[in-house]
């Protein structure tokens, strides 16, 4: 088990880097092809001799998702049109001087902030300066620049419609990897119950619980990366004709991420409890029989985490049934092991003692971890999430505001340790 864990730990970064590089490579190809196509289309039309503004606009318009591409195209067109009009107006009335340049920049920025162009604010003065630099501060030259912008934006939108990506697979992989990461951490907690056996086997002193607690806290970074990947996936479904029936999958992935996040919180609490209990006993956190029962329960919890991660990311019906059956089997066995561990504490130990309280904490965290992966609990969690989404949409409709993406950020519970 330790050798397999170390091997998988070395292989995972390579796999993650490969998966993350694939969308980037596809995006680079999309940008290159779209920009060249925009230039060729603008070259055929009666525009300037070298219509470079068309491929430039296409590069700036094309984004990772179709919704972002449409929004970027609208803002880009507005920025260029405003910048061109400002340059033509100033050049036609007072000519080009240093103070005209300053006035054009200031006016462009004021209009950009007023129109809330976001990241495209600086493109307004840049467009005005390009008009001055190209010597196109005439109605005809300005019209050519605007037309080139429309060609580039149109090609960007066309590329977004033809090859609108859906990043759901990346989010699925991230959810599955997070489940495996939590499962490995739970296995290491189980291994830490037998430090003497690790030392006898020549593997060092075995993992200590303070170090495992630090590793459990660092899982938050993996959760943030998974949340970012899922946010991109949800964004890629908006206004996307290729999305089809993938919206329920996005809801299921979001619910699965919340479940794994809560399990990480309880895993940190469990590591904290075991680290505190380690200070009470020199020979280990528990007696040999109790350690065996707790280790068996933790092994079942780790298998639940892996099965749940694979269940959330799976699409094939056959795989879903297999992972669901595995999850139910490990849940049943985990609860049985948990009940056996509950009786491990000697009956004469006082309920006021630190040992009794820490034993109760371990049981509470075990119960919460097992309950999180229960089908009934997951169904209730999905229903609560759907009610929150409907409430947000209804509130937005009543207030007259624009409907925003009904995705709440991943909630952060206080660290128990």
> What is the reported pLDDT for 50?
77
> What is the reported pLDDT for 333?
93
> What is the reported pLDDT for 199?
41
Q: Is the dihedral of CA 273, 274, 275, 276 positive or negative?
A: positive
CB neighbour list of residue 151: distance below 8 Å, 6 or more residues apart:
38, 41, 42, 45, 47, 51, 54, 57
On whether the CB atoms of residues 277 and 358 are closer than 8 A, the answer is yes
pTM of the model: 0.67
Buried b (16+ CB within 10 A) or exposed e, 155-164: bbbebbeeeb
> What is the reported pLDDT for 413?
46
> What is the reported pLDDT for 389?
52
Q: Is the dihedral of CA 247, 310, 292, 275 positive or negative?
A: negative
> What is the reported pLDDT for 198?
46
H/E stretch holding 222 reads: helix 209-237
Which residues in the chain land under pLDDT 50?
A: 1-9, 11, 14-16, 198-207, 393, 396-397, 400-417
Domain ranges of the chain: 2-162, 168-399
Q: How far apart are CA 173 and CA 248, in angstroms?
A: 17
> What is the reported pLDDT for 394?
55
CATH assignment of 168-399, among 3.40.198, 1.20.1740, 2.60.40, 1.20.58: 1.20.58
The H-assigned helical ranges of 279-353 are 288-313, 317-342
Residue located via tokens 């006035």: 103
Q: How many residues does the chain have?
A: 417
Question: Per-residue pLDDT tens for 344-384?
Answer: 776 656 556 667 788 888 899 999 999 998 876 566 555 55
CB-hemisphere CA count at 13 Å for 377?
A: 15
Query: If we measure between CA atoms, which residue out of 284, 301, 123 comes closest to residue 209?
Result: 284
Long-range pairs for 132-136: beta carbons < 8 A, 24 or more residues apart: 132/87, 132/91, 132/96, 132/101, 132/104, 136/48
Rounded (to 5) percent helix, strand, coil in the chain: 75, 0, 25
Helix (H, G, I), strand (E, B) or coil at 241: coil
Residue located via tokens 């459990």: 216
């Amino acid at each position: 088990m330790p050798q397999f864990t170390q091997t998988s730990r070395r292989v995972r970064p390579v796999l993650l880097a490969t998966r993350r590089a694939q969308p980037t490579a596809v995006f680079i190809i999309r940008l290159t092809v779209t920009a060249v196509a925009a230039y060729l289309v603008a070259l055929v039309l009666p525009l300037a001799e070298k219509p470079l503004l068309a491929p430039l606009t296409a590069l700036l318009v094309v984004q990772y998702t179709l919704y972002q591409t449409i929004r970027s195209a609208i803002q880009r067109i507005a920025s260029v049109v405003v910048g061109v009009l400002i340059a033509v107006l100033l050049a036609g009335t007072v000519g080009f001087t240093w103070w005209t340049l300053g006035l054009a920049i200031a006016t462009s920025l004021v209009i950009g902030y007023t129109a809330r162009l976001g990241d495209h604010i600086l493109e307004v003065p840049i467009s005005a300066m390009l008009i001055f630099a190209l010597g196109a501060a005439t109605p005809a030259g300005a019209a050519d620049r605007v037309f080139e912008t429309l060609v580039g934006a149109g090609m960007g939108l066309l590329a977004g419609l033809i090859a609108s990506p859906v990043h759901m697979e990346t989010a699925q992989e991230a959810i599955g990897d997070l489940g495996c990461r939590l499962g490995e951490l739970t296995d290491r907690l189980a291994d830490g119950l037998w430090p003497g056996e690790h030392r006898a086997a020549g593997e060092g002193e075995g993992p200590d619980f303070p170090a495992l607690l630090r590793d459990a806290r660092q899982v938050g970074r993996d959760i943030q990366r998974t949340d970012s990947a899922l946010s991109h996936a949800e964004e890629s479904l908006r206004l996307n004709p290729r999305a089809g029936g993938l919206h329920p999958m996005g809801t299921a992935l979001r619910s699965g991420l919340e479940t794994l996040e809560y399990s990480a919180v309880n895993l940190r609490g469990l590591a904290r409890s075991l680290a505190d209990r380690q200070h009470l006993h020199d020979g280990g956190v528990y007696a040999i029989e109790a350690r065996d029962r707790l280790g068996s329960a933790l092994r079942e919890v780790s298998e639940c985490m892996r099965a749940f991660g694979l269940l959330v990311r799976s699409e094939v019906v056959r795989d879903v049934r297999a992972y669901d059956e595995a999850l139910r089997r490990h849940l049943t066995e985990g609860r049985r092991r948990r009940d056996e561990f509950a009786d491990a504490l000697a009956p004469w130990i006082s309920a006021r003692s630190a040992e009794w309280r820490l034993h109760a904490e371990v049981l509470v965290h075990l119960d919460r971890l097992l309950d999180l992966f229960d089908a009934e609990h997951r169904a209730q969690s999905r229903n609560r999430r759907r009610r929150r989404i409907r409430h947000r949409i209804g509130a937005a409709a009543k207030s007259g505001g624009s409907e925003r993406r009904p995705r709440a950020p991943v909630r952060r519970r206080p660290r128990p340790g």
